[in-house]
Structure 1
Amino acid sequence: MSELETVAELAKRRGFFFQTAESYGGVGGFFTYGPQGSALKRNVEDRWRDRFVTRAGNMEVSAPDVMPEPVFEASGHLDGFDDMIVECPECDASHRADHLVEDNSEYEDAEALGIERVADLLGELDIACPDCCTPLAGESVEEFNLMFGTDIGPGSSQPGYLRPETAQGIFTEFPRLKEYARGQLPFGVAQIGDAYRNEIAPRRGLIRVRAFTQAELEQFIDPAEDEPDIESVADVELPLYSATAQEGDGKQETYTVREAVEEGVIESEWIAYYLGLARDWYDAIGIDMDRFRYRQHKAGERAHYAADCWDAETELDGEWVEVTGFAYRSDYDLTNHAEATGDTFTVFKQYDEPKTVERPSVDPDMATLGPEFGGQAGAVADALDALAAAGPDAFDGETVAVEVDGESVEVDADVANFEVETVTEAGEHITPHVVEPSFGIGRLFYSVLVHSYETDEVDGEERTYLSLPAELAPTFACVVPLVSNEPAIVEQAERAREQLREAGLAVAYDESGAIGRRYRRQDEIGTPVCVTVDHETIEKEPTSVTVRDRDTTAQARIPVEELQECLLALRAGTDFADLLERDTVTPL
């Protein structure tokens, strides 16, 4: 089996994830997280929240999964959130055209080639339908919008969509959120929630699905003044695969954050800052840094809103998979929502001292414009106002030319009533720019599982275990009575279980089968330690139990009165070998 197939089999058998509604035949692109998976996923989310919300001093919101159609008109998703689809003329199956090209060629990012070139490649590469083997040469490649549509309310209801990203739930609320930030830039707003994309061809387990969890941070900044704390991450080493390297025979190279900024490999200091901050976070949650890189988007593959974008990618089964996108969204979203709603998506930036400025303005004579231009008079007045701000020299002549509905019209200069006023300003309204790290929790979850999957040999038998970081493990400890038919041992084991749970530890209890098999079951779900209650526990003083380390299988006897303290230290990151240095701990 492939690496992903092996992990998928373990995940289903041990309760990490499995296809939704299998009794009904399942639905492509939808997965249910089981008991172990839900706990692991929640722990990944908690670690993200700790790093990017709590310790970063950012706000967190929770917006609805459904939003009205005008939101996505303004955001550009109705027109620009598309993938390439080709339909088989024989079996009517739909396929992602660029993925077919990638699967049958050396192209790593066929989406960047454009629809026409991808359509040509279907023929040049003799690509056939994966389902029925019918050649796809000459078949039309079309754009397919990925959003799930729905209706809001009964009857003549309002059209809406399941959100394809959580970000719009933050942008639409900016006029209120800026008040919570007291109008002071920079500030960040985060959200962890589900998003939905009607993928053409879901595949490869949790890698391409139709319902998934995102953890997104929108960092609102003044691009003219706000700078990130680059020094705090300056020496973090980044494995970078730039757009320039991808175009030629270049390769991935390692730069420190400082070097990447100084040499212009990463243009935005904010993007560089978050790449550095996130790199250490990935390492902490168990991503194998030998199977990790940052890849810059080429111009043809950037999202419609992104001025620059880098992906964090992990290697899974020999292929690179995006787990996070770091995008510089400029003022695209806030400007579009302001134009669509008329609301104020700006912040007031106060000057250190008031400034005296000259401000050109017009006061059109509507009594003249009305009869001359009729229904267009208002548009002509607006065009004059815009021209006064953008090109005041245009009013130097006897007439002024403006464009209305694609046509040029002339207005007498004296009708425009142009003048330049001298005003004193205390500040100005600016539209913030946005830097967005967007994390795919499901893909990170999958990467952690795959990268932590290990096999070794114990007592002549092959052993499978997940080397999950202690803080991430779904179950931190399992209490096992050596035998289940002696009440004193069982009672002591149950007491230990309850005491550890009271301390806030996720603790399982297992008294079924041979002790070795119980250890193996816990190893396979990544439980860091097993606590064994045996005859020595109830027969000797001081009372002690055996604690076994998952990764090394090393064991030690620990006094019961110190058990809680020792396990809390292990969960906080203390190495098991360091625990053995305690005077009261006896290695076995």
Structure 2
Amino acid sequence: MSEQQTESAETDDSIGEKLVELAKRRGYFFQSSGAYGGVGGFYTFGPQGAALKGNVEDAWRDRFAVAEGNMEIDAPTIMPEPVFEASGHLDGFDDMLVECPDCGESHRADHIVEDNTEYEDAESLPIPEVEEVIAEYELVCPNCGAGLAGQAVETFNLMFGTNIGPGDSQPGYLRPETAQGIFVEFPRLKEYARNQLPFGVTQIGRAYRNEISPRRSIIRTREFTQAELEFFIDPETDEPDLSAVADVEVRLYPASEQNVEDGEEIRTTIGDAVAEGVIASPWVAYFLGVAKRWYDAVGVDMDRFRFRQHLSGERAHYASDCWDAEGELDGNWIELAGFSDRGDYDLSKHAAHSEDRFTVFRQYDEPKTVERATVDPDMSYLGPEFGGDAQAVVSELETLAERDRAAFEGDSVTIDLDGESHELPTEKTGFAVEEQTEAGEHIIPHVIEPSFGVDRLVYTVLHHAYREDEVDGEDRTYLELDPEVAPTFVGVFPLQNDDELEATANDIVADLRDAGLSVTYDDSGNIGRRYRRQDEVGTPFCVTVDYETLEEREAQRASDTASGDAPRAEATTVTVRERDTTAQKRLPVSDLPELMADLRAGELSFGELDGKNES
């Protein structure tokens, strides 16, 4: 069963096309609702793809939730309209749309510019400038070729709207990110964290964006999976332990280099990048270091990986700084994750729009004596004067006293209530400035957010794992997937359709599954074709039960009978083949579960196995 392998580096720029075909044929992913013609931007993950995606999610959870000591929640995918009014998504979650005057097809204006000009980040340009570029370069509709010069570029909100409940239902939206499900639950989540900063909350789940022009299979879709961490910190006192990642080597493309004609990427370490001010936030730097190691572990090619800083015009409305993890695919860089310093934007917005408290109490080292402006309104006056709005008046007075003491210096004070100004006597407000001894203060935490796109990462892992070579004079395609994420870890085959071979193979399958390994059984076609099938879906190892296995078993039984010894563990072996090198070793059946588990855990390499009759 030996195989001769000839290496052939795959550098063709059409890997993407080959990968999409392989993905459909082998059950990784394919467009949804194909029986009804399909619908753009929605994809189904098949058996292989769902398993790979699940393994990637598990690996992310292990590193960013478990290893970091962070919590995990699972929030609804539909949330009421006020959540997104507070977050700013209803007003500022837009893309640039241009419509073809002939065929009526809508397109992302910035994508058309990026695909047909030297502009790499057209998303950061203002709309008038995008319109000028379209006219200057005489850009055309990708669908029908009609000219787009002179066509208005408009904003298009990406939110999917829905209704919650029957009748006069409450408007709601499918979440465009998993983050808001964490932010709105902060008042309760902080209790689970014992009101101690810093703490993190993770979530893996679906998000929805009504993309103008979905493209490149699962890279840009309308429904996708995110893995997000919202890490809450006290910006004045909390600092990360950078020693854990200081020596991580990174490839950075800061905004300062992007803004100059001959700008270049910087190769440095996380520690030096922080020391030299290339990365302003130590917390963002810490998570870049953690992510770099994690991406490497799950199979992203580090020669085609970098971190790029957002330009000012492309940063989200909530971010003071943001770096993208990017992977190179067919000569193009795509975003895999964003690492944002969101400040206190999100919690402040939800605090202002809701009736809950989005703060954490910061204890002083020593109590402080401070002056506080207070109000103690005369309710016998406010009640008759304002009726049911009396309590709202009290709240407005409290806010005004905290913000502007001078407003109470005259004989009357003016407040705003539902857009109307009201004047009331200062003496009725009970305004006073008092000395108070305080043990601490309530602060709104800042948020550091690593946000990962799972679907894009799955595609990138597959793309970076795609290989072509020649074995025994035949072309071979295989996926060099890391054992940790490969959908199936081991394939088990009987050499031929033989009852004894099949029974032994099925026993091995059961033992390997009992050891927690993902196993497939295949008895269809010749052994070479079975190897090729498993290579193409990325299965790291194959086990073949052959007649030598049966002969060894019979010889062992005969020896036991002749010697009169009690039955012993059968010293039979099987052929174990490695996917990448096609090398083979004969290994004891009794040791397979332990050896395979060690291989998957990375505690043992195939070359370290003590086999016999290697080929």
Q: TM-score, normalised by structure 1?
A: 0.94
| Residues 283-342 of structure 1: CA deviation (Å, up to 9, x unaligned) | 000000010010111111111111111100000111100010111111111111111111
Aligned residue identity for 1:563: L
Match of 1:555 in 2: 584
Count, aligned residues = 585
| One of 204, 207, 222 as aligned partner of 2:219 | 207
- Describe the SS at the equivalent of 1:48: helix
Q: What does residue 424 of structure 1 align with?
A: 437
Conservation of the 8 A alpha-carbon contact between 1:549 and 1:576 = no
Q: CA deviation at 1:254?
A: 1.4
Is 1:463 the equivalent of 2:476? yes
Name the SS of the counterpart of 2:433 in structure 1.
strand
Task: From 210, 215, 222, give the equivalent of 2:234.
Answer: 222
Question: Aligned equivalents of 2:185 and 2:551: distance in 1?
Answer: 64
How many angstroms apart in 1 are the aligned matches of 2:209 and 2:150?
Answer: 28
Structure 1 pair 576/457, CA: closer, same or farther in 2 (3 Å)?
farther
Kindly state the Cα deviation for residue 7 of structure 1 after the two structures are TM-superposed: 0.5
Indicate the residue corresponding to 1:111 in structure 2.
123
Report matched runs for 1:401-440 at 5 Å.
418-440=431-453
Equivalent of residue 314 in structure 1, options 327, 344, 358? 327
1:325 aligned counterpart, secondary structure: strand
Cα deviation for residue 419 of structure 1 reads 2.6
Contact 2:484 2:600 (8 Å CA) reproduced: yes
Unaligned runs of 5+ in 2: 1-12, 557-570
Output aligned runs, 1:328-343, within 5 Å.
Answer: 328-343=341-356
Match of 2:153 in 1: 141
Give SS of 1:449's match. Answer: helix
Q: 1:326 aligns with which of 332, 339, 351?
A: 339
Which of 552, 556, 565 is residue 594 of structure 2 equivalent to? 565
> Cα 1:352–1:535, aligned 2, differ >3 Å: closer, same or farther?
same
SS of 2:237's partner is coil
Residue 587 in structure 1 maps to residue 587 in structure 2 = no
Letter in 1 for 2:439: A
* Partner SS for 1:300: coil
Indicate conservation of the 8 Å contact 2:599/2:606, yes or no.
no
Q: Residue 565 of structure 1: CA displacement?
A: 1.3
Task: Establish whether residue 260 from structure 1 lines up as the match of residue 273 from structure 2.
Answer: yes
Q: Is the 8 A contact 1:579 1:585 kept in 2?
A: no
Q: Distance in 1 between matches of 2:153 and 2:380?
A: 55
Please say if 1:491 is aligned against 2:503. yes
Gap change, CA 1:382 and 1:176, over 3 Å in 2? closer
Report the RMSD for the aligned CA atoms in angstroms: 2.4
Identity of paired residues, percent?
63
Letter in structure 2 aligned against 1:320: W
- Residue 504 of structure 1 aligns with which residue? 516
> What CA distance in whole angstroms lies between the structure 2 residues aligned with 1:489 and 1:423?
85
Alpha-carbon distance change, 161 to 376 in structure 1, aligned in 2, over 3 angstroms? closer
Q: Deviations over 1:441-467 (max 9, x none)?
A: 000000000000011221222211101
Whether the 8 Å contact between 2:32 and 2:43 is mirrored in structure 1 is yes
What is the DSSP-based 3-state SS (H/G/I as helix, E as strand, rest coil) of the residue aligned with 2:219? coil
- In structure 2, the CA distance between the partners of 1:353 and 1:146, relative to structure 1 (3 Å rule), is same
Mean Cα deviation higher: 377-386 or 284-293:
377-386
Instruction: Name the CA shift for 1:371/1:36 in 2 (closer, same or farther; >3 Å).
Output: closer
Preserved CA contact (<8 Å) 1:402 1:408: yes
- Rounded Cα–Cα distance in structure 1 between residues aligned with 2:333 and 2:368: 53
The one-letter code matched in structure 1 to 2:116 is N
Matched, 1:157 2:169: yes
2-structure distance, mates of 1:373, 1:160: 33
Equivalent residue, structure 1, for 2:455: 442
Deviation at 1:369? 8.5
Q: 1:406 to 1:502 in 2, by over 3 A?
A: closer
Query: What do the CA deviations read for 1:1-53 (whole angstroms, capped 9, x no partner)?
Result: 71211100110111000010111110000000001000000000000000011
Alignment of 1:494-533 (within 5 A): 494-533=506-545
Matched position secondary structure for 1:504: coil
8 Å contact kept, 2:491–2:542: yes
| TM-fit CA distance, 1:59 | 0.7
Aligned to 2:180: 168
2:79 alignment partner in structure 1: 67
The alpha carbon displacement at 1:378 in A equals 8.1
Q: Distance in 1 between matches of 2:27 and 2:17?
A: 15
Q: Deviations over 1:402-435 (max 9, x none)?
A: 7888999987765665432011112211111111
Are 1:183 and 2:212 matched, yes or no? no
TM-score, structure 2 as length reference = 0.90
- For 1:500 and 1:416, the matched residues in 2 are separated by 76
Distance 2:421 2:29 in 1: 62
Q: Choose the corresponding residue for 1:39, options 51, 58, 66.
A: 51
CA contact (8 A) 2:494 2:501 kept: yes
Matched, 1:543 2:572: yes
Q: What CA distance in whole angstroms lies between the structure 2 residues aligned with 1:275 and 1:2?
A: 30
| Contact 2:543 2:575 (C-alpha < 8 Å) held by counterparts | yes
Could you tell me which residue of structure 1 aligns to residue 136 of structure 2? 124
Q: Secondary structure at the match of 2:190?
A: helix
CA contact 1:456–1:462 (8 Å) conserved in 2: yes
In structure 2, C-alpha distance between the alignment counterparts of 1:539 and 1:379, rounded to whole Å: 89
Partner of 1:356: 369
Q: Once the 2 structures are TM-superposed, how far is the Cα of residue 509 of structure 1 from its aligned partner?
A: 0.9
